[in-house]
Structure 1
Amino acid sequence: MALRTVLSDPMLRMLALAVLLAVIIPVGSQTRPAADLLVSAGVFVLFLLNGMRIARSEIRLGLRNWRFLLPLLLWVFGAMALAGMALSSLGQGLIPPLIAVGFLYLGSLPSTVQSATSYSALAGGNLGLSVISAALVNIAGIFVTVPVFFLLGGTGSEAQIGWESAERILLILLLPFVIGQIVQGWTRDFIARHGRHIIWIDRLVIALAVYVAFSGAVEQGIWQRVDASAWTWLGGMVAVFLLFGHLGSWVVAGALRLPRPDRISFLFAGTQKSTAVGVPLAAILFPPEIAGFLVVPLMLYHLTQLVVAAPVAGALRRAG
């Protein structure tokens, strides 16, 4: 079941194709400025559409459920970020430094809306709460991810964030999202009619960002700098991070005495990490030769979370 889920995931197939293209035909130095501009434009459109899709009424409703939302925010941007920082420190000397820093970046990211809600529904969770909370965590990620990454030591490497990066976040992420929120009253019907087509815009933008970023990593010799031993360590660290996410979020939700459906929603919202935010954000914050290394843990985690989430959701449904 898990393998079938992975193979049928369009986003995963597009990510694999983007990486393959980057290996075979990487973006060259002459075409990189145009590619970077295209990625920035795509990310702007992506967050504009996100602003149009997330209803303001849902945001207000989610904010009222502070007993669920506040611990979830602390878990996603606090505990998971600290776990990423710990793995980043442990990985120094075992894997390339920028890939190690990628675990801190991974831990600082928000939840992914689609898979968090899908697996929550499959497991018998509170679907409405899953949708609202994952959406709110994604909105919070626009404001929180970069400061958390910065405060926990993300700038201790080549991956430094300055005022120029902050301006890009405001102009390419926050501004289009705000515009989308303002105009959603006029665009709601259009979004509803063309939702199945619009989701392909999301996937294409993310795949393009992966292609450009990974091209930079290929040009920097990622295959020569990451040997078999490093890939083994990297896979083990991803597995540890995923285990921590699942066990920790389940225990925390139990300690909060949440009803079982809400506890399931907390589990998936607290564990699934978003490539839809992580890859475009890395693409606008860092040059490709840095972003390509930083997103390696995220892409491996994305694959692994899909493999693990399906059987976990099935087991929870059967146990309920």
Structure 2
Amino acid sequence: MTLPKVDKFVIALASVVALAVLWPEPGRTGGPLQWQYVTTYGICGVFFLYGLTLAPERMMRGMTRWKAHLAIALTTFALFPVIVLAGERLFPNLLPEAADIGFFYIAALPSTVSSSVAMVSLARGDIPVAIFNATLSSLLAVVLTPALMAWYMQSSGVTVPLGPTVLKVMLLVVLPIVLGQIARRWLSVWAERNIKAIKIADRAIILAIVYGAFSDSVSEGVWQSHDVFLVVEIAILAIALFAIVYLIVALALKITRMPREERIAVLFCGSKKSLATGIPLAPIIFSGRGDVGLIILPIMLFHFFQLLIVSFLATEYQKQAEGEAAA
């Protein structure tokens, strides 16, 4: 059995966090580099690139598999929140408030795009279903993620300025996506030829946003009252959250007549959450908070472990498919 390789982006994320801990001054809000502007314009850049590379015709190929689409949407935006809320009720005060918010933030985020499609393809699953749902999930998240977070935080006694938050989402997320789609008319061929460079730019912006968030947290003294055991605890809970969702969905799919390829797409798309959407949205939804670094830590750890676990599972599914084909 070969172990999956660690994603280079995960290593880069860890390096950026370490840099923020050791040298937070350049990245803090109001610091010498005025990093908050890098974050603001970076958010626009991320979602413009998403709009530019979003090909509607690819998404439409899997549009008719409505049972799979419904299962993935319910898992992503309903099952995850229910499990997180149940966990908070069963184990109150287990984590600091910011970490609790971070776990519900995982629950409110959409499925991943590129890694979901890649893993479904590796596992010999239904690729059109994966493409449709990964894309649809990200578009729905523009509305559902801020709405779910506003509801959760208000129900927890945290005041959320919903109007300004919605306005920021429209200006920094929706508008860049629309402009990116419009720009496809002239830049789609260029974007396809330079997809690797676009992916590097996208990840570089996300790393810059993470550096700013953790620099602010360090500067505000958020980590002085917490130690490494909190990180370990969050990591264990992130693995547990993934495992619970995956097992529930796997058991539910056993009683359906859904084809094997669609079941794989539902499992992999429904159980994964998007760091690429979560990091740029966080400064908008949690604007003004000094503990954003702690809030986004759960999704960063969840992202790492979901990649490791799903890579292993996809390889096993691939072996099964090849064995069946050979037989």
TM-score norm. by structure 2 comes to 0.89
Letter in 1 for 2:168: R
Task: Report how far residue 294 of structure 1 moved.
Answer: 0.9
| Correspondence list, 1:55-204, <5 A | 55-90=55-90, 92-153=92-153, 156=156, 158=158, 160-204=160-204
Q: Tell me the amino acid that sits aligned with residue 313 of structure 2.
A: V
- SS, match of residue 110 in structure 2: coil
1:14 aligns with 2:15: no
How much has 1:305 moved relative to structure 2?
0.9
Structure 1 stretch displaced more, 254-263 or 104-113: 254-263
Q: Is the 8 A contact 1:22 1:211 kept in 2?
A: yes
Measure the CA separation in 2 of the matches of 1:197 and 1:150. Answer: 35
Structure 1 position 185, deviation (Å): 2.2
Structure 2: where are the runs of 5+ without partners?
322-327
Cα deviation digits, residues 225-264 of structure 1 (max 9, x gap):
2235433432321121010121122233334422111111
Distance 1:119 1:228, change over 3 A: same
Q: Which protein shows a greater Rg? A: 2
- Cα–Cα, structure 1 residues 151 and 307, in superposed 2: closer, same or farther, change >3 Å? same
Q: 1:248 to 1:191 in 2, by over 3 A?
A: same
AA partner of residue 127 (structure 2) = L
What does 1:212-231 align with in structure 2 at a 5 Å threshold? 212-231=212-231
Letter in 2 for 1:24: L
Q: TM-score, normalised by structure 1?
A: 0.91
What letter corresponds to residue 9 of structure 2 in structure 1?
Answer: M
| Deviates further, 287-296 or 218-227 | 218-227
CA contact (8 A) 1:158 1:290 kept: no
Comparing 41-50 with 22-31, which one deviates more in the overlay? 22-31
Distance 1:45 1:174 in 2: 12
Matched residue, 1:274: 274
C-alpha change, 1:5 and 1:157, in structure 2 (3 Å) is farther
CA deviation after TM superposition for structure 1 residue 56, in Å: 2.2
For residues 314 and 120 of structure 1, do their structure 2 counterparts lie closer, same or farther at Cα, with a shift above 3 Å needed?
Answer: same
1:211 positional shift: 0.6
CA spacing shift, 1:129–1:211, aligned 2, 3 Å: same
Question: What is aligned with 2:325?
Answer: none
Q: Deviation string for 1:3-50 (max 9, x for gaps)? A: 5521xx232122112101111111245328831221111111111111
* d(CA) in 1 for partners of 2:205, 2:2: 26
**What RMSD, in angstroms, separates the aligned Cα atoms of the two structures?**
2.2
Q: 1:171 to 1:250 in 2, by over 3 A?
A: same
| Distance in 2 between residues matched to 1:235 and 1:55, nearest whole Å | 35
Say if 1:291 and 1:228 are closer, same or farther in 2 by CA, change over 3 A: closer
Asked if 2 retains the 8 angstrom alpha-carbon contact of 1:47 and 1:173, the reply is yes
Question: Secondary structure of the residue that 1:124 maps to in structure 2?
Answer: coil
Instruction: Report the CA distance shift for 1:155/1:196 in structure 2 as closer, same or farther (over 3 A).
Output: farther
Where has structure 1 moved over 6 Å in runs of 4 or more?
Answer: none
- The verdict on how the C-alpha distance between 1:255 and 1:153 changes in structure 2, with shifts beyond 3 A counting, is farther
* Mapped partners of 1:29, 1:169: distance in 2: 20
Distance 2:90 2:216 in 1: 25
Q: Distance in 1 between matches of 2:51 and 2:159?
A: 28
Q: Specify the code of the residue in structure 2 equivalent to 1:141.
A: A
1:88–1:104 CA contact under 8 A, matched in 2: no
The percentage of aligned residue pairs carrying the same residue is 28
How many residue pairs match? The answer is 318
Task: Tell me the amino acid that sits aligned with residue 10 of structure 1.
Answer: K
